Amino acid sequence: MEWLTDTRTSYDAVAEDYATFVRDALGKQPYLLAALRLFAEQVDDGPVADVGCGPGQVTAHLNDLGVAAYGVDLSPGMIEVARRDYPALRFEVGSMTDPLPAAALAGIVAWQSVIHLPDDLLPAVLANFRQALRPNGLLQLLFHVGDETRLKTEGYGGHPMKVQVHRRPRERMTTWLRDAGFTVEAELLLNPETPAPQALLTARSRR
């Protein structure tokens, strides 16, 4: 799949600069910090996959909150940075389009990673997430809100990139989640009055 190769190559190119950009960003976003804290309080004991973990800052924060989280990312460059910066934690190279072990996870976090998936693949990926979760497993998604796709050609540090960025209506995402076997428990719209709003959805796998 060409889009998969382009995404991997692009994030390999920007890995170091992206890690610098996001290293302290989470601490400046109180709503996202609160969402992670609530996730940590509600998720059952067991492993949690941070899918599309990038340089690992969310994985590390979840571990600080007492969650047994590990990171998975398509980009070997991102995983190299994550392993260097958080050597005590587990990070793996992998694609969210590949099935995860069935009923193996207590939770999944996917922040700003499904934004690169084409519409025709995203429902199947959400179904894979559902199969990987135990009954009552918790899923948290963060994504761009809108109804358009743009090609990102330049990234962090001025490096060339070639990635599709998909903005999606919340209603479409919640419909896909329900169709995949989730019950949506909460929706949070961030920065609704800006040109680039984001949505955070929390859902549970049905028993």
The tens digit of pLDDT for each residue in 18-53 reads 999 888 889 899 999 999 999 999 999 999 999 999
Q: Kindly list the domain boundaries of the chain, sorted by start residue.
A: 2-205
Round to whole Å and give the CA distance between 129 and 107: 9
Round to whole Å and give the CA distance between 39 and 201: 11
C-alpha distance from residue 163 to each of 35, 138, 172, 204 (Å): 27, 28, 22, 30
Round to whole Å and give the CA distance between 50 and 155: 22
Instruction: Specify the pairing of strand 47-51 against strand 68-73.
Output: parallel
Residue 39: closest CA among 205, 207, 204: 204
Question: What is the arithmetic mean of pLDDT over 50-69?
Answer: 97
54: which residues sit within 8 A by CB, 6+ positions away?
Answer: 11, 18, 19, 22, 73, 75, 78, 82
Question: What is the arithmetic mean of pLDDT over 172-191?
Answer: 96
The tens digit of pLDDT for each residue in 130-147 reads 999 999 999 999 999 999
Question: Which pLDDT value is given to residue 112?
Answer: 95
Question: What is the arithmetic mean of pLDDT over 58-67?
Answer: 98
In this structure, what token pair is assigned to residue 98?
A: 């590949």
Question: What is the arithmetic mean of pLDDT over 89-116?
Answer: 95
Round to whole Å and give the CA distance between 128 and 38: 24
Long-range contacts of 20-29 (CB under 8 A, 24+ apart): 20/156, 21/156, 22/54, 22/55, 22/57, 23/55, 23/57, 25/57, 26/57, 26/58, 26/61
Would you say 56 and 64 are in contact if contact means Cβ atoms under 8 Å apart? no
Q: What is the mean pLDDT of the chain?
A: 95
Looking at residue 68, its amino acid is A
Question: Which pLDDT value is given to residue 155?
Answer: 82
Round to whole Å and give the CA distance between 202 and 186: 5
Residue 61 has pLDDT above 90, yes or no: yes
Report the CATH number of the 2-205 domain. Answer: 3.40.50.150
